[in-house]
Amino acid sequence: MNKKLKSSLKIGIPILLGVLLVWYSLSKISINELLAYFKKANYYWVTTGVLLGVLSHLSRAYRWKFLIEPLGHKLRLGNSIMAVFAAYLINYTIPRAGEISRATIVANYDDIPFEKGFGTIVSERIADLLMMLVIIAITLFIEFDFIYNHLTQNIEPQKLIIGIALLVVLGIVGLLFLKKSKHQLAVKIRSLLNGFIEGVLSIFKMEKKVPFILHTLFIWIMYVAMFYVTSLSLSELNAVPMGAILIGFIAASFSIAATNGGLGSYPEAIVLAFAIFSIPEDPSRAFGWIMWSSQTAMIVLLGGLSIILLPFYNRNRNKDQKED
């Protein structure tokens, strides 16, 4: 497969999948019904959710400085904030292109080498992955009985035990393969795992590790909080248990990687997660669209403004460089 075709598929498949999921979602609830949910939603909670989302992004922009400064470069907060919002917006067009554009922006305006800037973004993603694993672990701990009962009701206990045993065996075999094999795939995975471990350890070695960890906790608390408070905008979901909120949040978070910015996949992931708790589909789907639409509108507005304002914010600096 040539590079051009491979690149086209990387861009085209998520868009096509997103369009199909939008069609599927709207085939399950009429546009009139969906609009009715939008009209009766309590926008105090929707707005609060958006503000919490903004706070998480601002914290992410400030946290980035802790990774850049030890490299001997100065990242101005204004550029960091606008780069973060611009990156989120660009991710809606081409998946993962936002990270590249974010490193490119600070390379252009703050003279931070692209490789170093991009490396710090990878370190950020490692920290975020760790936080997602922590949230999954907390969810499993809180809802262990419910999840276990749900599984045993739908799957025979004997088959469940066999399935778990097979997963354990496959895991051990996989680890042995990765450790000893010289196959190209095994070498690549081993390299990724080593990079992951190295990235995690680098977080604890940085000069301002405590502020970095606190900002990371704040970012993810804001993520969960914005999901929860936005669910309060629909009266039908006011009694949703915290376990459903956490599972819904996890499912929705993973859905963002499936399509551009979670287009179509975001509301359907919430429907599937809430169905475990016997929550009706229509309000679940409507909440998914309200949540996705409000956060997307915020990203489009602030990301668009960031792209427009970046040259003006850096105008005086560019003049100084030309004079030098």
Q: Could you read off the pLDDT of 2-16 as tens digits, one per residue?
A: 666 666 666 677 778
What pLDDT is attached to residue 14? 76
What pLDDT is attached to residue 178? 67
Nearest Cα neighbor of 248 from 259, 237, 234, 236 is 237
**121-125, 208-212, 319-323: segment of lowest average pLDDT:** 319-323
Q: Could you read off the pLDDT of 188-222 as tens digits, one per residue?
A: 777 766 655 665 566 666 777 889 999 999 999 99
Quick one: what percent of the chain has pLDDT higher than 70? 83
What pLDDT is attached to residue 322? 47
- Which residues are CB-contacts of 45 (< 8 A; sequence separation ≥ 6)? 229, 230, 231, 232, 233
CB-based contact 263:22 (threshold 8 Å): yes
pTM of the entire predicted model: 0.83
Instruction: Delimit the domains of the chain by residue range.
Output: 51-317
What pLDDT is attached to residue 272? 92
Interatomic CA distance for residues 222 and 245, integer angstroms: 14
Say whether pLDDT at 224 is over 90: yes
Say whether pLDDT at 78 is over 90: yes
Q: Could you read off the pLDDT of 260-283 as tens digits, one per residue?
A: 888 889 999 999 999 988 899 999
Interatomic CA distance for residues 87 and 2, integer angstroms: 27
